[in-house]
Structure 1
Amino acid sequence: MFGDMMGMMNKLKETQEKVEATKERLKTVLIDEQSSDGLLKVTITAAREIKNISVSQELMEDKEQLEDYLVLTLNKAITRATEINENELAAVAKDGMPDIPGLDMFK
């Protein structure tokens, strides 16, 4: 039984290291999103860090419209980044979980 417990602890530690490595990798995965008309473009990482915002001169003339574009486009980008982030981390966590009877959190 002690050997099984040590094996599980080692697997959990290994999984934690993989999760941390995945989090670091997600900081380098870039996601590009743009408004439907292409006047605003944003780039964020899968770790949800904004890397770039490109605004058409046309939008600079209307503050309220620019604000609306920013909110909508950033929210779309953040949603995509969150989906990628959660899927990647869930896959790593599921893959590394020890097989404990009755504990099927990721199934």
Structure 2
Amino acid sequence: MFGDMMNMMGKLKETQQKIEATKQRLHTVLIDEQSHDGLLKVTLTANRTLKSVTIDDSLLADKEQLEDYLILVLNKAIERASSVNETELAAVAKEGMPNIPGMDKFF
């Protein structure tokens, strides 16, 4: 029984290390998003860090329109980045979890 507990603790520590490695890797996964007409483009990492914004000159004439574009495109990009982030981290966490009855519904 004590050996099982030590084995489980070791596996949890290994899983924690894998999660940290995955978080670091997600800094290099880039999510590109753009407006429907291509006038605004953004790039985020899967950890939701903004890397670049490209704005067509035609959007600079109308502040409200530019603000609307930024909100829409950034929200879409953040949603996609969050989905990638959560999927990747959940996969690593599930892989490393000990087989405890009932825990599968949490992942």
Q: Structure 2-normalised TM-score?
A: 0.96
Instruction: Kindly indicate whether residue 54 of structure 2 is the aligned counterpart of residue 54 of structure 1.
Output: yes
Relative to its length, the structure with more helix (as a share) is 2
Q: How many residues align?
A: 107
1:99 equivalent to 2:99? Answer yes
Alpha-carbon deviation of 1:99? 1.3
The structural deviation recorded for 1:16 is: 0.3
Unmatched runs of 5 consecutive residues or more in structure 2: none
User: Which letter maps to 1:27?
Assistant: H
Q: CA deviation at 1:104?
A: 2.8
Helix, strand or coil for the counterpart of 1:41?
strand
**2:9 matched to which residue of 1?**
9
Q: Indicate if the aligned counterparts of 1:42 and 1:53 stay in contact, CA closer than 8 A.
A: yes
Letter matched to residue 13 of structure 2:
K
Counting only pairs closer than 5 Å after superposition, residues 1-107 of structure 1 correspond to structure 2 as 1-106=1-106
Stretches of 4+ aligned residues off by more than 4 angstroms: none
TM score, norm. by length of structure 1: 0.96
Measure the CA separation in 1 of the matches of 2:102 and 2:54: 50
What secondary structure, in the 3-state scheme, does the structure 2 residue paired with 1:104 have?
helix
CA distance in 1, matches of 2:67, 2:102: 49
